[in-house]
Amino acid sequence: MKSQMLAAMLLGMGFLSGCGAEPPHEPPVVPAAITADAVGQYCGMNLSDHPGPKGQVHLRSRGTPVWLTSVRDTFAFLMLPDEPKNVRAAFVSDMGGTTGPDKADPTRWVAVQEAWYVAGAEAPAAMTGAELYPFSKEADARDFIHVYGGQLRRFADIRPDDVLGGDMETSSISQGGSDAR
């Protein structure tokens, strides 16, 4: 139920562009390259110096992406009620073809709603105790599970308590609310 509400909220924000929610006059968003000035929104760390999968969120109100040093932080940004909701697109590192869970390729990205995620893996997490490892291909995600364990999830299966912890029942997210910033 929570995942359906999250998907409905993101659709309402115009986030799920694949469902026709993006206005036709806006060009498609492509992932940005990590530059020397790409700094994580929550931790202030330079993304170039940080291991593991990362994220970027493109807002209508901002010319540069919001950079996030983990996939968990990316989902938190999308879920937290106080963050902007004028999201055009969001991308996470595609971990397919990497040599390890801390070796994200800075040129490989996948849209958050298209990725296959591995949750609960016994892999070293760079920023948090619980990281989500994203893949553009299901087979790559299953190969990762074979080595590191975990469960296969899709975007709609990621719950607020998977990312934020605690009981989110009373939050505006679980109630389908959104901020129209």
Instruction: Determine the pLDDT at residue 74.
Output: 95
Instruction: Flag whether 30 is in a domain.
Output: no
* pLDDT surpasses 50 at 149: yes
User: What would the two tokens of residue 21 be?
Assistant: 């929610």
Instruction: Flag whether 27 is in a domain.
Output: no
Split at pLDDT 50, 70, 90, the class of 172 is very low
The kind and range of the H/E element at 79 are: helix 71-79
What secondary structure, in 3-state letters, does 167-178 show?
CCCCCCCCCCCC
Instruction: Flag whether 8 is in a domain.
Output: yes
Instruction: Flag whether 170 is in a domain.
Output: no
pTM: 0.78
Instruction: Flag whether 24 is in a domain.
Output: no
Domain around 103: 2-18+38-163
Count of domains forming the chain:
1
Instruction: Flag whether 171 is in a domain.
Output: no
The kind and range of the H/E element at 116 are: strand 116-119
**Distance, CA of 91 to CA of 76 (rounded, Å):** 13
Instruction: Flag whether 31 is in a domain.
Output: no
Neighbours of 81 (CB within 10 A): 13
CA 51 to chain centre: 16
Question: What's the whole-number average pLDDT of the chain?
Answer: 80
**Distance, CA of 149 to CA of 13 (rounded, Å):** 34
Instruction: Determine the pLDDT at residue 10.
Output: 54
CB 78 within 8 A of CB 84: no
Pairing of strands 109-111, 133-135: unpaired
* pLDDT surpasses 90 at 71: yes
Instruction: Determine the pLDDT at residue 161.
Output: 75
- Strand-pairing partners, residue 119, are 151
Which letter does DSSP use for residue 15 in this model? -
* pLDDT surpasses 60 at 16: no
- Amino acid 163 reads V
The total number of residues shown for the chain amounts to 181
Instruction: Flag whether 23 is in a domain.
Output: no
Q: Which residue has the higher pLDDT, 130 or 178?
A: 130
Instruction: Determine the pLDDT at residue 45.
Output: 85
